[in-house]
Each structure stands twice: as structure tokens, then as C-alpha cells.
Amino acid sequence: EVQLVESGGGLVKPGGSLRLSCAASGFTFSSYSMNWVRQAPGKGLEWVSSISSSSSYIYYADSVKGRFTISRDNAKNSLYLQMNSLRAEDTAVYYCARGVSGSYPEWFDPWGQGTLVTVSS
Amino acid sequence: SYVLTQPPSVSVAPGKTARITCGGNNIGSKSVHWYQQKPGQAPVLVIYYDSDRPSGIPERFSGSNSGNTATLTISRVEAGDEADYYCQVWDSSSDLVVFGGGTKLTVL
């Protein structure tokens, strides 16, 4: 069974940093692109970042470019999101989602259950 | 940047057909994917590549895409279909993933 489990969320002050992790199992992690998508409380889905299977291609939403860094460790079947200079508007549930093979994001399936990040003083 | 426009809400009676639209400039030239999200749960892919269904998704779910509008159609709607639905594309001109604002489907 394909499983994605996010961790690392929590409460952080504005300007602070946080590192999210996503542990993958049940599939050949190194063959798939991976993605982060967030959802602010009561709001819709917002794509954050994507990384290709070999880390050759990385994409960011304009809202996080220069502040967030996506990375992966294929040996550990893990995806990461380093978040710096956090703002109140970054408060959201962050989902890890599997992509498809290839150099750019297409659809996302499946998704993890998400981890909540709250940015507040 | 590319914008996808969805109606905020759609209501339908049980057993009837629900159609949820996703508008975008020449969206017919892009591949559209659809997700279902029930309260407190993670999104689930229901349609990819405009009209393909992942395994486990009922045949009642179908999709189409032409011109400036993509449509998710749910036939013989059931109470369990009540959820938020999102369309999504990859905009290759800007290297960005774009989601629609979401549509809340209410089963009357």
C-alpha cells in the first residue's frame, strides 16, 4: 500500500524556520516526482513546490520562492521542505503528494494526511 | 499568471447529474486533473488527463475538456459525493501548478 506520512509541523513565530518531512513507503520512491501542497484554514488548495525523481527539476510557487527549499533523499525514501522567513500567511496544512515520473508536475496521487504549520507570535 | 475559475458551489438532488466547471484561457490545450476533498480528509484524485479515472474511482465520475472550459461530471449523484472539488493544471509557460478555487458540491 502506498503511504505518505508528513511530520515536522507545529507552532513557529513569524520570521522563524521549520523543516517538514514526508516518509514514503509502498512504492519505488526514486521513480516518482514529489510535491508539497498547502491549504490554509477554510481555504482552497495551493501548490507550494515540486521536485523531479532525481532532483534535476525543482519548481516553486511565487509565494514561497526564495524562502522555501524542497529536497529529497531517495536512499531514505524521504521528501523535505525547509521553510525559512515564515509569515502568518504560511499558516496551513501542508500535504505531501506523489507525482508522476517525468520532469514536470502533472497530477498528484496519493496525498498524505498533512501536517499543520501555524505561524503566530 | 494562469487562472482557473470554478463556481463556489453546485447543488444537486440525489440520483441526478452534477456538472462542475473549470474555466481557463484555452484550457482545452492543457491537461486537467480533478480532486475530491471531504471535510477533514486529504484530497483524492478522481480524474486525470481530462477524462481518465484512477483505479477505484466509480464510473459515475467523468471529465471533458474543450475550448475555455473543463467539466467534471458526476452521474447518479449519491450523498457520499458531497465534497469540495478542485481542478488543476500545469502551466508550462510559467512552470507553475495552478489549482482552481474549488467548488462545494451539496447533495440536496
Q: How many angstroms separate the CA atoms of A6 and A77, rounded?
A: 12
- Cβ atoms B84, B104 nearer than 8 A: yes
**Which residues, in sequence order, are CB contacts of B57 under 8 Å at separation 6+?**
B45, B46, B47
Q: Is B61 on the interface with A (CB under 8 A)?
A: no
Handedness of CA A105, A107, A113, A116 (dihedral sign): positive
Would you give the end-to-end CA distance of chain A in angstroms?
40
- Report pLDDT for A63: 97
Q: What is the CA radius of gyration of chain B?
A: 13
Closest CA to B48 of A103, A109, A52: A109
At A79, give phi and psi (nearest 5°): -115, 145
How distant is the Cα of B44 from the closest Cα of chain A, in angstroms?
7
Predicted confidence (pLDDT) per residue in A26-73, tens digit: 999 999 999 999 999 999 999 999 999 999 999 999 999 999 999 999
Q: How many angstroms separate the CA atoms of A44 and B100, rounded?
A: 8
**Which residues, in sequence order, are CB contacts of A66 under 8 Å at separation 6+?**
none
pLDDT for A102 beyond 90: no
Cell of A101: 515520473
Residue B11 corresponds to which amino acid? S
How distant is the Cα of A89 from the closest Cα of chain B, in angstroms?
17
Q: Is A58 on the interface with B (CB under 8 A)?
A: no
Q: How many angstroms separate the CA atoms of A104 and A100, rounded?
A: 8
Residue B37: pLDDT band with limits 50, 70, 90: very high
Q: Is A106 on the interface with B (CB under 8 A)?
A: yes
Stretch (H or E) spanning A31: none
- Report pLDDT for A84: 98
| For residue A41, cis peptide bond before it (omega within 30 degrees of 0) | no
Predicted confidence (pLDDT) per residue in B45-85, tens digit: 999 999 999 999 999 999 999 999 999 999 999 999 999 99
Residue B98: pLDDT band with limits 50, 70, 90: very high
Closest CA to A12 of A94, A95, A70, A83: A83
- Report pLDDT for A101: 75
Over the range A47-68, which residues count as b (16 or more CB within 10 Å of their CB) and which as e?
Answer: bbbbbbbeeeeebbbeebeeeb
How distant is the Cα of A47 from the closest Cα of chain B, in angstroms?
6
Chain A residues with beta carbon closer than 8 angstroms to that of B45: 107-110
- Report pLDDT for A92: 98
